[in-house]
Amino acid sequence: MASAEHENMLIEKVTRSRAEDALKEIRRHYPEATVEVEVKDGRGILTACQDRFVLSKEFVETEESLRSPHCMAEYCRILQGKARLVLIVPRENATKTFLRMLEFNQWWLFYYQIFFYDKEGNIKRVDRKTWCEMMGRPYEPAPRAPEIT
């Protein structure tokens, strides 16, 4: 029971921490936006809105919530609605989640970000460089096309 209680407290902590950052990020572009926060069923959900439009939807997931067969469909609906998607997953699931989300790039649905959190509630963004480090692979930046001047 203590483990489930600790996990719920961790989800609450990570969700509150991310809510502060999300509000700052969104308000840079949409000064009137608000962020609604809820924690239910072992999952944190942050929704950034302006007026009645959803600008961003963020999920603080657990290992258990990531196993839901409906996650990917839910993420896809958000991206198809042209809202930003942010996933904050346990560190142990970061590399697998990064790969799963690449499936959406095939349909030009790539306006998402992935973060991971550790047991202390620290949050770190998972980009290609971080993913390579976590996988034990060397990071090689993709060559850019030459500038036309």
Predicted pLDDT of residue 149:
56
What does the pLDDT read at residue 1? 43
Whether the pLDDT of residue 38 is over 70: the answer is yes
The answer to whether the beta carbons of residues 28 and 52 sit under 8 Å apart is no
pLDDT in tens, 66-92: 998 899 999 999 999 999 999 999 999
Query: So what's the pLDDT on residue 116?
Result: 95
pLDDT of residue 114: 94
Domains of the chain by residue range: 2-135
Which pLDDT tens digit goes with each residue over 94-148? 999 998 888 887 777 778 899 999 999 999 999 888 888 888 888 887 777 676 6
pTM: 0.86
